[in-house]
Chain A
């Protein structure tokens, strides 16, 4: 809870630290000549899809949103997945404070609450998000759970314009843990990867239905735990979904 409070405090205090009226050298009771750092916001559902796989028919959501100024923002991230027709096996929600420290880079700090599976964990999140040279979108974070387990995630994707409206998007995600968490079926080392290739068509800038393939694979201890529990350890699927933002 302290982290929630800290994050909210940072955000609330930030506008107060904005300048009083020196920039124009005008009397203090004059309004500024223009938009003085309005807050903007955006919500992007990068993946919002259902898939037919060789081992599992499932669904996935991966939604991020931000609110704030140019340098400081609050981020919300949620992702989850499950088997078609059932409640999610994995679902999480992150609330982060984010600050730009280089032209294409933000550091982020906040909390992640796992809603599924049980037992649900709360994590401290330390993240770096931005754009790597060659226009690769990069999202990475280190998680420290309330059990003391440390894990990491890196997500990379790229948008290749085929035409002005058709876009090919390779996507790669890797999760790793630095300790076992048997209760959650997580083993030390690389846990899983997702490799996807999606082709979308922009009906408009904000809305793009897509079709793609996705391959998920478990590794090491995580794979062994899954096998012990009788779950599949890899899944290749054809996915259909819609990417949208507003």
Chain B
């Protein structure tokens, strides 16, 4: 289907220089890679046999983000081509490495034999230069996914693409048009240089640090509050502005490969329902996604259908996906706004009936600050902590068990947390305790060694909380407790055992780890017994959000919805959060388990899970 390995043309390109090469390369970006429209082929669903894809990974210059960048591309485009698979039909993917370094492709979120998972050094030996690796496996699921290189830092250089699996059964939602909206972060810097910069100076890319300018008048805090806050954070030797490690100071944010001026555009006809498949394909970024004037109905998360829930904005971490339905009004033009979580930049595109038209791009909102809740500070017994709920012994069920079903419309104070009435004027910068989830555990004595700066003294259930910086918005924001699995296929065996893992790190030295141990320091994989049902509980002892990804098996997020727990491949862990997932260890082999922030993974926030 997808076939673009024209060697003579490539050779010509390598010899071509300057402007002509620029023009030619741009011409080679196929139109379908830009349109990103998903088109289900019903005939393909009926056929049997394998669907074959040829993918070539190359290093070259490409026009990107308003300049010329050195990319690692798949079939000459960034993102790589949209792959459409069909549930029940095998796929064959011939991935040719046309570079002089090893590469790999990982099918993110896909259930498959582990040898086909594409993680070099874990599931296979990687794809050596000038060789082709043949992936072949049955497709046993449907939904929105993506694929990317799992080698070195190639993902940062553009080696990723969208993947849609069409369901065998009719889709539970009807829609007229179907678009990929793949978000990513691009830098013209060499990713290895980015890594070195972070190693030498953890806050290298943070140009939104607390400064005297904040302390004197320009902020929305009183001077006294601001000083108090600065001193509290200085005392801990941390920064309230440590939101994202790599920011808009080097990144250009892309939507389907186009920077904001490139204006990716999704066209619609009057009265159409449009499915937008949002994929966070970034290396290091969280996005706040909204379409001003247009509510979004979330119908799937991480490729898995959920009960429809309407919202105005969602935040998602690297590797997560959400499918939404929108119904644009006739003759209206909308901006799809994807703001980086630290508000240092944005990706934007347009939904319109008229190619070339564009709606206003909303200004970036003020950068948020981490709070005392994110620090995991124990403030119970003080009047600062409105949620000084008693510690629950039972960490898995927590207070979220009886959340009202449709609370994305409600303020958190109404959510049945026994929370005090939310105070809209609360000093949110000091930590708006009134919106914080309940304390469900306290940290033990193990502080995970010198490679971990601090621990969450109190661990909270934060699944009902809005993402960082969205706490006080007066519109609806999606939260994890909104997600309820649609399929009626819950494995109701109770978990036979529990594994607890702590997310740990050291921002200043840029070390990242689980339980204080970087990957190279651990003495073996995490062992799952084949066939067992278990609970994995994660505690985030760092101050940052981390999207945690398990390969090969679903994580069923224990968000209080009984047998309707949503299945996810990537779970965002808020700072100081304690979150559990259920796993059916039904896939033998070695599977990667890691933070999906690329430089965190590379610095050791990575483990191997072995199912045997």
Contacts and interface: CB of A to CB of B under 8 A. Distances in A.
Interface of A: 18-19, 22-26, 30-37, 40, 42, 70-71, 100-105, 131, 133-135, 160-164, 205, 245
A102 B508 CA distance: 13
List of 8 A-B pairs having minimum Cβ-Cβ separation, nearest first: A33-B121, A161-B211, A25-B525, A42-B200, A40-B199, A24-B608, A134-B234, A135-B234
B175 interface: no
B397 to A, nearest CB: 33
Interface residues of B, number: 54
Contacts of B607: 23
B520 A19 contact: yes
B210 A26 contact: no
B118 to A, nearest CB: 11
A78 to B, nearest CB: 19
B235 A133 contact: yes
Contact of B508 (A24, A31, A104): A104
A34 B524 CA distance: 15
Interface in B501-556: 506, 508-509, 511, 518-525
B120 A25 contact: no
Which one of A19, A24, A105 has the highest number of Cβ atoms from chain B below 10 Å of its Cβ?
A24
Contact of B450 (A22, A36, A71, A135): A71
A37 B602 CA distance: 9
Contacts of B521: 19, 23
A134 B235 contact: yes
Nearest to A103: B453
A31 B121 contact: yes
Contacts of B506: 70, 103
A42 to B, nearest CB: 4
A163 B212 contact: yes
Nearest to A41: B200
Given A71-B450, A164-B207, A34 B236 contact: no
B601 interface: yes
A65 to B, nearest CB: 11
Contacts of B208: 164
Contact of B126 (A31, A100, A161): A31
Contacts of A71: 450-451
A42 B197 CA distance: 10
Given A25-B525, A34-B606, A245-B200, 15 more contacts: A19-B523, A23-B520, A23-B608, A26-B121, A31-B102, A31-B125, A34-B602, A70-B506, A104-B453, A104-B508, A105-B450, A133-B234, A134-B234, A163-B212, A245-B201
B25 interface: no
A76 B453 CA distance: 25
B121 A102 contact: no
17 contacts: A23-B522, A25-B525, A25-B608, A26-B122, A26-B608, A32-B121, A40-B199, A100-B450, A100-B509, A101-B450, A102-B450, A104-B237, A131-B508, A134-B234, A161-B209, A161-B210, A164-B211
A23 B604 CA distance: 11
Interface string B584-598: 000000101000000
Nearest to A158: B234
A22 B234 contact: no
B125 A35 contact: no
A131 B519 contact: no
B294 to A, nearest CB: 35
A34 B211 contact: no
B196 A70 contact: no
Nearest to A205: B204
